[in-house]
Amino acid sequence: MKPHPMRDRVLGQVLSEKAALHGERTFIQFEGRSYSYREVDLLSNRIANGIQSLGIGKGAHVAFMLDNKPEVILIYFALAKLGVVAVPINTAAKGQLLAYYLDQSDARMLIVDAALHQRVQAVAALTPKLKQVITLTEGAQADQAGCIEFDQLLQAPDDTIKVEVRFCDLHALLYTSGTTGPSKGTISTHAHALSCGWSLTQSFGYRSDDVLYVCLPLFHGNAWLCSVLPALVADASVVLSRRFSASSFWDEIRSQGVTQFNSLGAMTNFLWGRPPDARDRDHKVRQVMVVPTPKQFYQAFQERFGIKFTSVYAMSDVGMITATRDDDRPDKWASSGRPCEHTQIRIVDDDDFALPPGQTGEVLVRSEMPWHYAQGYYNMPDATVRTFQNLWFHTGDRGYVDEDGYFYFVDRKKDAIRRRGENISSFEVEQIILKHPAVLDVAAFPISSEYSEDEVMVSVVLHDNAQLSQAALIAHCSENMAYYMVPRFIEFVPQLPKTMTEKVEKYKLKARAEQDLKQVWDRERAGIVVKR
C-alpha cells in the first residue's frame, strides 16, 4: 500500500477518501455496534458543523476528557476537519493538574463525560480561558446546569466542511510528562499523526482484513497514533473496548475476530500471568506490538499463544523512531528494530558527540523529511530549543545501536517515572505536594516494583514544628493529581541530600530506600485505596 505524499496527509481528507472508496466497510466496532467508513465520515461532519455553529473555528483549541467510546474517534476527526486543535486530557486528571492542562493548552471548549463534570466545576476559577463545556451523558444521568449536551452536536447537518486544512496545520496537543518541568503539550500536525500510522502499517505489514484491538485509552498517543490511524491508512477496522481487563481480554479478542493488539508495560505481564488455558491459541491474532520486550518470557509467550511479537521505540514528542520488521534476523529479538523511514538515530556522549556501535549513550533522533515529526512544545519555546539542541531531538533515554543498525533501549536518563503504562512527571508530583502548608521540601523518584515497572516514592521535609501523617498527605495528593501519580511509598526526613548547586541527589534516596523497602511506609500495606 503506497503512502500518501506528505502534503496530502490531512486527516479529514484521508477519512473522506476512505469513505468514498470503501463505503460500508466496517471501521469501528464497539459493544455490538458497527460504524462504517462512510458513517464515521458523516457523523464527524455533523459534530464538526455543530461545533462550528457554537463559534469555534480554525485554530481554536478544544479539549476533551472522555473514556473510550466511538465518540472520541469521531471528535478527533471532527476537530481535524475544522482545523481545530484537539487537546485530549487524561480522564484521571483533577484539581491543580486538570486546571494546568486546560489553562496551558488555551482550551476554549471542553467536551467531558458527565460523570467527570464536577471536576471541571471545581477548577472553574482557575480556568478563565474555558468558555464552553459540552457534556456527554450515558444512561440516565442528570443534565449539567449551564452545559450543552453532546447529542445536540449530532443534530447538525452532515454537509462537507468547507475549511481549508493543510498537512502542516496543528492537529493536536499531546501532553507528555515533564521531567524538570511541568507536562508539555507536544505539537502534533496532521502530517505527523498520519506519518505515525503509515510507519507502523509499513513496518508491521497491516492489511485491509486486519482487526486492531484498542483497549488502551484514546487520550494517549498509543491508541490514537499506533492503532486507530494505522487502521485508517491500512483500510482495516478497529475493535474498541472501554478499558483493559485481564479476565475478559481473550473472550473479547476471540468474539471480535481481532488480528492485532498493542500491549504496554505491565499489561503483558498480566496476560502472561493468567493460568494456562486450553483455548490459549483459539484466536485469530497474528501479532502483538509489545513495549518493552519481556526478555524473561519472550519466546514462551509466542509459543503459548501462537502470536508473533513486534516492537517499536517511539515517543509522542517526535513520532515513530524504530520498529521491527518481517525480515529482521531472529537473533535480534531483544532489539526495538531499525530506524523507520525518514528517521535518523544517533547515540552520543554527554557532550553530544557520536559513540561507536555497541556503546551506550543518550538517544538522539531527527527526521530527514519535513513535517514528518512533531514540531516541539506548545507555548514552551525554551523547552523546545533545549530539547532540540544541536539540531537533534534529545530523548532523555539511553540505548545503543549494534553493528547491524538495530536499536536497544537501556534505561531512562531523564527524571521521569513509568507506572502502570503512564509516564509521571516527578516535578508535578513534587509541586503539588509542596502546596501542602506543612511541607518544606520534597523529592519524588521511582522505586522498582513487583510489576517490573516503577512505583512512586517521595521523601518529604516538613516545616519546623509542623505535623503531617502519611494518610493526610495521601489525601492531599488524591485531591490534586491523577490516581496513578499518588505516591505509594512515603518517608519523612530532616533534610534532602543535595549537591553544591542545590540539586537533590535522588539516587542516594533511592539506593537507601531499596536497601530495605519493607521499612518504608507503604500505602498498599497500610490498606489505603486511592479512588480513580
Give me the pLDDT at residue 178, please: 55
Rg (CA), the chain: 23
Does 141 have pLDDT greater than 60?
Answer: no
Structure confidence at residue 3 (pLDDT): 85
CATH number among 3.30.300.30, 3.40.50.720, 3.40.50.11740, 3.30.1310.10, domain 416-522: 3.30.300.30
Q: Which of 18-32, 120-134, 173-187 has the lowest mean pLDDT?
A: 173-187
Asked if pLDDT for residue 372 goes beyond 90, the answer is yes
Burial zone of 254 (CB within 10 Å; 0-12 exposed, 13-18 middle, 19+ buried): middle
Q: Which residue shows C-alpha cell 463559534?
A: 55
For residue 192, pLDDT beyond 60: yes
pLDDT > 70 fraction of the chain, expressed in percent and rounded: 94
pLDDT over 80 (residue 102) = yes
Residue 366, SS3? strand
Task: Look at residue 277 and give its three-state secondary structure.
Answer: coil
Q: 6-188 adopts what CATH topology?
A: Rossmann fold (3.40.50)
Collect all residues with Cβ–Cβ distance below 8 Å to 54 and sequence separation of at least 6. Answer: 109, 132, 148
Q: What is the reported pTM?
A: 0.83
Do 6-188 and 416-522 share a fold?
no
Strand 489-492 relative to strand 521-522: parallel, antiparallel, unpaired?
antiparallel
Distance from C-alpha of 265 to C-alpha of 411, rounded to nearest angstrom: 14
Dist. CA 135–CA 292, nearest whole Å: 37
Over the stretch 303-316, which tens digit does the pLDDT of each residue have?
Answer: 999 999 999 999 98
Q: If you average pLDDT over residues 58-80, what whole number do you get?
A: 98
Classify domain 336-413 by CATH architecture.
Roll (2.30)
CA of 293: how far to CAs of 212, 263, 410, 417, in Å? 20, 10, 12, 18
When pLDDT is cut at 50, 70 and 90, the band that residue 379 belongs to is very high
What is the arithmetic mean of pLDDT over 491-518?
83
Q: Give the whole-angstrom CA distance, residue 7 versus residue 293.
A: 35
Could you tell me if residue 334 is left (phi over 0), alpha (psi between -120 and 50 degrees) or otherwise beta?
alpha
Do 417 and 481 meet the contact criterion of CB atoms below 8 Å apart? Answer: no
What would the pLDDT profile of 381-426 be if each residue is shown by its tens digit?
999 999 999 999 999 888 999 999 999 987 667 666 878 777 787 8
Which residues lie across from 462 on neighbouring strands? 439
Domain ranges of the chain: 6-188, 336-413, 416-522
**Directed axis angle between helix 426-434 and helix 95-104, to 10°?**
120
**Are 459 and 512 in contact, with CB atoms under 8 Å apart?**
no
pLDDT at 450 > cutoff 70: no
Average pLDDT over residues 340-347: 96
Structure-block grid coordinates of residue 156: 447538525
